[in-house]
Amino acid sequence: MEVNSMPKQPNKLINEKSPYLLQHAYNPVNWYPWSEEAFEIAKKDNKPIFLSIGYSTCHWCHVMEQESFEDDSVAKILNENFIAIKVDREERPDIDHIYMEVCQALTGSGGWPLSIFMTPDKKPFFAGTYFPKESIQNHIGFKELLNIIIHRWKTSREEIVESAEEITKIIRLSLTNLQPEPLDQYILEKTFNSLELSFDKEYGGFGTKPKFPTPHTLLFLLRYSVHFKSNKALKMVEKTLIQMYKGGIFDHLGFGFSRYSVDEKWLVPHFEKMLYDNALLMMVYAEMYQITKKQIFREITEKIITFILRDLTNPEGAFYTAIDADSEGVEGKYYTWTIEEIKLVFNDNELDYVKSYYNLSDKGNFAGRNIFNLIHQSDDNLLDNELIKSIRNKLLEARKKRIPPHLDDKILTNLNALMITSLAYVGRIFRDYHLINQAEKAFAFIEKNLLTKDNRLYARYRDGEVKYQGYLEDYAYLIWALNELFLSTSKDRYLELSHKLYDSVMKYFKDMVGGFYHTSKDSEQLIVRIKPLYDGALPSANSVMTMNLLQLAEITDNSCMAIKARDQFHYFSGLLNYQPSAYTYMLSAYLYYKADKRKIVIVTNKNNPHLTRILNEYYNKYLPFTTLIVLFKEDILTSDLFSEYASVNADIAMFMCENYHCDEPIYDVDIIISEIKKLTELD
Question: What local confidence, expressed as pLDDT, does residue 7 receive?
Answer: 59
Other beta carbons within 10 angstroms of residue 644's beta carbon come to 12
Same domain for 275 and 164: no
| Amino acid in position 543 | S
Structure letter (DSSP) for residue 182: P
Question: What local confidence, expressed as pLDDT, does residue 102 receive?
Answer: 95
Q: How many residues in total does the chain contain?
A: 683
Question: What local confidence, expressed as pLDDT, does residue 1 receive?
Answer: 38
The H or E element that residue 332 is part of is none
123 is a domain residue: yes
Nearest alpha-carbon partner for 66 in 24, 33, 96: 24
Question: What local confidence, expressed as pLDDT, does residue 682 receive?
Answer: 63
Cβ atoms of 129 and 113 within 8 Å: the answer is: yes
Q: Where in 288-423 does DSSP place strands (E)?
A: 322-323, 326-327, 330-331, 407-408, 411-412
Q: Which residues, in sequence order, are bridge partners of residue 599?
A: 627, 657
Phi and psi dihedrals of 281, rounded to 5? Answer: -65, -30
Same domain for 247 and 152: no
Same domain for 338 and 225: yes
Structure letter (DSSP) for residue 459: E
514 is a domain residue: no
List per-block mean pLDDT (blocks of 10 residues) for the chain, which spans 683 residues: 60 97 98 98 98 96 96 98 98 97 93 97 97 92 97 96 95 86 96 98 95 97 98 99 99 98 97 98 99 98 99 98 94 96 92 96 96 97 96 97 97 99 99 98 99 98 97 99 98 97 98 96 95 94 99 96 97 96 97 97 95 96 97 86 90 94 94 94 63
CATH of the domain at 603: 3.40.30.10
Same domain for 169 and 74: yes
Question: What local confidence, expressed as pLDDT, does residue 270 receive?
Answer: 93
202 is a domain residue: no
Same domain for 255 and 167: no
Same domain for 220 and 168: no
Phi and psi dihedrals of 598, rounded to 5? Answer: -130, 145
Q: Final residue of a domain: which of 389, 409, 429?
A: 409
Task: Give the structural domain span for 301.
Answer: 209-409
Q: Where in 60-171 does DSSP place strands (E)?
A: 83-88, 114-118, 124-128
Q: Final residue of a domain: which of 409, 434, 450?
A: 409
Cβ atoms of 31 and 51 within 8 Å: the answer is: no
Same domain for 229 and 114: no
Question: What local confidence, expressed as pLDDT, does residue 449 receive?
Answer: 99
489 is a domain residue: no
Cβ atoms of 549 and 563 within 8 Å: the answer is: no
Give the C-alpha separation, 50 to 24, whole Å: 15
Same domain for 400 and 258: yes
- DSSP code per residue over 240-293: HHHHHHHSTTB-TTT--B-SEESSTTS-SEE--EEHHHHHHHHHHHHHHHHHH-
Q: Final residue of a domain: which of 377, 409, 441?
A: 409
Cβ atoms of 592 and 223 within 8 Å: the answer is: yes
Same domain for 374 and 242: yes
Give the C-alpha separation, 508 to 595, whole Å: 31
Question: What local confidence, expressed as pLDDT, does residue 2 receive?
Answer: 44
Structural domain total, the chain: 3
* Contacts with 615 (C-beta within 8 Å, 6 or more apart), sequence order: 431, 628, 630
Same domain for 153 and 105: yes
Same domain for 154 and 226: no
Residue 619 CA to chain centroid, in angstroms? 25
Q: Alpha-carbon Rg of the chain, whole angstroms?
A: 26
